[in-house]
Structure 1
């Protein structure tokens, strides 16, 4: 899924409007598994001026980048954080870990050919899903509308939970970004 989708769905599932720490934690957990990609790709593309095809065809699949992805996309590490949060009874940490695990679960089933080693450090195995959120050859024309509907549903849940004006605007911008990106994936990929 696209990052805006992860943010919307993670916030709707685990954020609590009016409880800023819990909402912020849910958003952070939904974002963190993608953050390393943004940092490494952004630095490579815009600071080091490495061509896009090198970044996404070579560096993305390099052992160095895959090691970073293995760490921040590990079900085992995120699960450990959730267990600690439950043990401590700390709601923001539970929201953080739960949103991260939800992110990983959706990525696990929606990455065809570009998945991550989700069971690090026990295994470097990568599940090659038959489904993709962006690749038409792996049913993206079916997946993208379902993901868009899930995002619309998440926005509706957040609205009904009572998000304020700034939340409506911020999450509305995420919804618009998701719909735009989903459109781009379908048209160009």
Structure 2
């Protein structure tokens, strides 16, 4: 749920044919999109959702809000240049972490690999417990997607260097 504004932004940018570089260096940082992203990453607001869900005996609201709190707590230490205001609207503080979940300049490959391994371990643990074939299929799809994207990004970054190194060694 906390990343919904980013998915909406991405879809909107695709429809408007905004280049990816402009999307993630300019458009994403516009106040409108930052406010929506920060609202969805707000730990206090999601905590209120948990409380309302419990008071109203809405397990769905409580679990959805609880997962948003957990997402934001796990998000907090892995954002460098793109840190969210996790206490918005009550505070505008952004924790600028020394690590990033995506940026290789801030250990992004290592953080991404740890995230993939945690997701893989969790789904391997949950797979035999879950009786739904559909959910088991989702587990498989998520793992294939995670591993595939990681390998694609790793190869895309390393492959040109491998070819250049091979050409240098040949000469």
Instruction: Give the TM-score, by structure 2 length.
Output: 0.84
Query: Please, which runs of 5 or more residues in structure 2 have no aligned partner?
Result: 158-171
| Structure 1 unpaired stretches of 5+ | 1-31
Cα distance between partner residues in 2 of 1:35 and 1:161? 28
Q: Which residue of 1 aligns with 2:70?
A: 102
Match of 2:11 in 1: 42
**1:179 lines up with 2:147 in the alignment:** yes
Deviations 1:114-152 (A, max 9, x none): 111111111222111111111122112321221111011
Q: Which residue of 2 aligns with 1:136?
A: 104
Residue from 35, 40, 50 that aligns with 1:72: 40
**Runs of 4+ that moved beyond 4 A:** none
Offset at residue 47 of structure 1 (A):
1.4
Alpha-carbon shift at residue 68 of structure 1 (Å): 0.9
Which residue does 1:53 correspond to in 2? 21
How far off its partner does 1:102 sit? 1.3
Deviations 1:34-92 (A, max 9, x none): 11111112212x21112222211011111111111111111111010011122233322
